């Protein structure tokens, strides 16, 4: 539905800057084909105009006028030979024009598409959290698509039409400037008529698009809820609602199409009318040419024939332009949205502390090495030029942290906590208490407003984001897998993992049994991001994916009770297994997880209101006690 809110047509300023930018891409990345294609289109326009000139000036005025000359046919043959050469140039260049234009258009498309995607990867998480997936996707599906249509179809037509007008115009002036001025004068009203019609048809076109968006939105929503419609006997009402939109769409699109259908015959025949008027004026001029004195030489029957043809090639491109302009304005509106995304600033990463492979020296201190040792250390260059190394252990501390997704609204207040390496920290509290928010801060999906977060005693702002995130595993509640084999998905956690490592990780995650039972085992393709697996199975793969990267610290978001109990038990076992020996932050929903934690943080409205072990908190008799006694199941 959100599409209907998006502007369909671009305004003038957007037109200018977007077209400039697209041309910039073309010239920058494809300079040779771009300019070559312009050269080709000029050649083809010239050969076209040469045809009109040849038929009038040479064929009619020379050949046909002197048809009785004995050697006229051989002279004609010679002319035709020359013309054949020109035509051939024209044909070849029109081919290359089309070919090069499409190559440039497709190449530019690819550049923009790749740049868009690449840039999207660098955008901060807030970009994704503040937009619906549908809105982001529609930039790719709608905007990139209309831009492609416009660039590969409308744009080449526009360019060749423009050049055709210019070349024919010049040729007309060369042949006979008086007739040329008459043609141009006759074209002016046609030009304004076209402009007016295009403008109003554009208006109806937008209405039609909005109406289409609404109708399709309705269809999408209602068909997706079709089963509910059936269950509530709501068919009649659904049809009535649909009819209103459909009738309106029919009305709007009929209007829009009537307008654009009117344009073509008028423009075609306006050309003819112009042609007739030209013919009559030319005849009059021919009759009185003896009185025109020095102009006499300018007029011949051939000139008139040539001009009759010129005027056609002069007016037709205007028709073409008018047909394409709506598509182009629409595409530019799309391009504006594309560039908007490309221009959104990337996530800033000014961290300089990096994660390196290390081995132990005789004192047990880390020493950087280039080979994989399975041990990691933070490499910390200081301003003094000195470089220190600290073991990667997984100690995390929060020191008086404040945070808000928007500066005006602080959602975490004075959060202070610490987790020693290997400790398990559970967050409990109602939805919206800030559990997920805290985990978002540890891996710097969001940056804190005030206070400090330290990882192995290093301020996380100093750590390079990629390295920080590599050191933290993550299993989320909404498991996202990618199309590919099961193995690919597990290896997402460690690209160079061997098959043995994959299996080992799967075993650790309790996923090996079900994976082995899949039709192709580890090579089973996951269609549609794992849509062919149950939620529990997807979660098991996600656990294996986190396990294989073997991070010292992990963030876990337990699933709520939407999976059935048996699978849940398996998932639970998998979770328990990878939690061992790691620093773990878990957003807990299950009592067993909470009970087994070293520290439990009870959150409410962005603050930690209670902390301690299960027994301590029960003894305290506060909020945790209430939650426990209120919800735990009694036999």
Among 560, 613, 616, 629, binds another protein (CB under 8 A): 560
Tokens standing for 315?
């007016």
Among 451, 567, 612, 625, binds another protein (CB under 8 A): 567
Specify the residue, 14 or 323, whose C-beta has the smaller distance to another protein.
323
| Number of neighbouring beta carbons within 10 Å of residue 282 | 22
DSSP 8-state code for residue 600:
E
Specify the residue, 158 or 308, whose C-beta has the smaller distance to another protein.
308
335 neighbors 143 (Cβ within 8 angstroms) = yes
Work out how close the CB of 280 gets to another protein at its nearest, in angstroms, rounded to a whole number. 4
What three-state secondary structure class fits 354? strand
Tokens standing for 426?
């559970």
Work out how close the CB of 384 gets to another protein at its nearest, in angstroms, rounded to a whole number. 29
Among 175, 423, 549, 597, binds another protein (CB under 8 A): 549
Specify the residue, 14 or 58, whose C-beta has the smaller distance to another protein.
58
DSSP 8-state code for residue 46:
H
Cα 421–426–431 angle (5° rounding)? 145
Burial class for 78, CB neighbours closer than 10 Å (0-12, 13-18, 19+): exposed
Binding of another protein by 231 (CB under 8 A): yes
Q: Which one of the spans 12-20, 182-190, 243-251, 369-377 is the region binding another protein (CB under 8 A)? A: 243-251
Count Cα atoms within 13 angstroms, Cβ side, for 584: 27
- Residue 463: beta bridge partners? 353
Q: Which one of the spans 9-17, 166-174, 300-308, 383-391 is the region binding another protein (CB under 8 A)? A: 300-308
d(CA 186, CA 177): 14
Tokens standing for 566?
């048996």
Work out how close the CB of 361 gets to another protein at its nearest, in angstroms, rounded to a whole number. 28
φ/ψ region of 451 (left if φ > 0, alpha if ψ in -120 to 50, else beta) reads left
Among 23, 77, 166, 348, binds another protein (CB under 8 A): 77
State which H helix or E strand residue 358 sits in: strand 354-360
Work out how close the CB of 522 gets to another protein at its nearest, in angstroms, rounded to a whole number. 19
Go through 559-574 and write b for each residue having 16 or more CB atoms within 10 A of its CB, e for each that does not.
Answer: beeebeeebbebbbeb
Work out how close the CB of 177 gets to another protein at its nearest, in angstroms, rounded to a whole number. 20
Of 155, 381, 183, 174, the closest CA to residue 275 belongs to: 183
Binding of another protein by 140 (CB under 8 A): yes
Q: Which one of the spans 406-414, 448-456, 472-480, 515-523 is the region binding another protein (CB under 8 A)? A: 472-480
Work out how close the CB of 65 gets to another protein at its nearest, in angstroms, rounded to a whole number. 9
Work out how close the CB of 170 gets to another protein at its nearest, in angstroms, rounded to a whole number. 20
Binding of another protein by 543 (CB under 8 A): no
Specify the residue, 423 or 479, whose C-beta has the smaller distance to another protein.
479
For β-strands 607-612 and 599-604, DSSP reports them as antiparallel
Taking CB under 8 A as the criterion, which residues in 200-229 touch another protein? 212, 215-217, 219-229
Cα 494–497–498 angle (5° rounding)? 165
CA-CA-CA-CA dihedral for 549, 555, 560, 565, to nearest 10:
40
Among 14, 253, 423, 539, binds another protein (CB under 8 A): 253
Binding of another protein by 246 (CB under 8 A): yes
Among 6, 21, 590, 611, binds another protein (CB under 8 A): 590
Taking CB under 8 A as the criterion, which residues in 46-75 touch another protein? 51, 55, 59-60, 63-64, 67-68, 72-73
Binding of another protein by 83 (CB under 8 A): yes
Specify the residue, 346 or 365, whose C-beta has the smaller distance to another protein.
346
d(CA 276, CA 335): 43
Work out how close the CB of 360 gets to another protein at its nearest, in angstroms, rounded to a whole number. 26
**Site string (333-372) toward another protein, x via CB under 8 A:** ----------------------------------------
d(CA 176, CA 32): 36
Taking CB under 8 A as the criterion, which residues in 89-108 touch another protein? 90-92, 94-95, 98-99, 102-103, 106-107
């Amino acid at each position: 539905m959100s599409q209907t809110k998006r502007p369909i047509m671009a305004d003038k300023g957007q037109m200018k800057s977007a077209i400039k930018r697209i041309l910039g891409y073309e010239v920058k990345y494809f300079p040779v084909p771009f300019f070559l294609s312009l050269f080709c289109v000029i050649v083809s326009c010239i050969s076209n105009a040469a045809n009109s000139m040849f038929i009038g000036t040479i064929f009619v005025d020379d050949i046909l006028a002197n048809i009785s000359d004995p050697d006229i046919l051989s002279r004609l043959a010679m002319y035709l030979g020359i013309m054949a050469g020109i035509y051939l140039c024209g044909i070849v260049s029109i081919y290359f024009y089309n070919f090069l234009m499409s190559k440039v258009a497709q190449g530019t498309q690819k550049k923009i598409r790749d740049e868009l995607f690449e840039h999207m990867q660098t955008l901060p998480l807030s970009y994704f959290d503040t937009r619906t997936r549908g809105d982001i996707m529609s930039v790719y599906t709608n905007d990139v698509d209309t831009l492609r249509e416009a660039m590969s179809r409308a744009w080449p037509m526009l360019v060749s039409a423009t050049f055709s007008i210019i070349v024919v115009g010049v040729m007309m002036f060369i042949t006979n400037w008086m007739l040329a001025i008459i043609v141009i004068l006759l074209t002016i009203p046609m030009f304004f008529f076209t402009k007016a019609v295009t403008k109003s048809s554009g208006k109806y076109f937008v209405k039609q698009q909005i109406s289409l968006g609404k109708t399709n939105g309705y269809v999408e929503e209602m068909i997706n809820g079709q089963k509910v419609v059936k269950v509530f006997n709501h068919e009649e009402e659904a049809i009535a609602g649909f009819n209103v939109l459909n009738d309106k769409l029919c009305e709007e699109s009929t209007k829009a199409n009537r307008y654009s259908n009117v344009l073509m015959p008028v423009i075609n025949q306006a050309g003819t009318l112009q042609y007739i008027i030209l013919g009559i004026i030319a005849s009059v001029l021919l009759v009185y040419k003896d009185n025109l004195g020095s102009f006499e030489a300018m007029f011949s029957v051939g000139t008139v024939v040539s001009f009759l043809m010129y005027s056609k090639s002069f007016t037709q491109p205007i028709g073409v332009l008018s047909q394409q302009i709506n598509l182009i304005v629409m595409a530019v509106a799309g391009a504006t949205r594309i560039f908007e995304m490309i221009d959104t600033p990337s996530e800033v990463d000014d961290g300089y502390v990096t994660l390196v492979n290390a081995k132990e020296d005789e004192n047990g201190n880390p020493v950087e090495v280039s080979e994989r040792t399975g041990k990691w250390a933070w490499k910390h260059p200081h301003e003094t030029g000195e470089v220190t190394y600290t073991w990667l252990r997984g100690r995390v501390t929060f020191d008086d942290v404040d945070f808000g997704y928007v500066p005006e609204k602080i959602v975490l207040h004075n959060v202070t906590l610490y987790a020693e390496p290997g400790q398990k920290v559970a967050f409990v509290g109602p939805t919206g208490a800030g559990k997920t928010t805290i985990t978002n801060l540890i891996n710097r999906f969001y940056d804190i407003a005030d206070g400090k977060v330290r990882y192995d005693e290093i301020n996380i702002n100093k750590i390079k984001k990629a390295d920080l995130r590599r050191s933290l595993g993550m299993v989320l509640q909404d498991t996202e897998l990618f199309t590919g084999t099961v193995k690919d998905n597990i290896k997402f956690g460690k690209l160079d993992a061997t098959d043995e490592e994959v299996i080992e990780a799967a075993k650790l995650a309790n996923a090996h049994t079900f994976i082995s039972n899949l039709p192709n085992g580890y090579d089973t393709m996951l269609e549609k991001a794992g849509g062919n697996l149950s939620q529990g199975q997807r979660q098991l793969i996600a656990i294996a994916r986190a396990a294989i990267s073997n991070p010292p610290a992990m963030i876990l978001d337990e699933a709520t009770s939407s999976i059935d109990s048996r699978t849940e038990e398996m998932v639970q076992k998998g979770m328990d297994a990878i939690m061992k020996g790691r620093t773990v932050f878990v957003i807990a929903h299950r009592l067993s997880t909470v009970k087994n934690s070293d520290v439990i943080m009870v959150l409410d409205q962005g603050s930690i209101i209670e902390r301690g072990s299960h027994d301590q908190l029960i003894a305290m008799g506060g909020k945790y006690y209430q939650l426990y006694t209120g919800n735990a199941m009694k036999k």
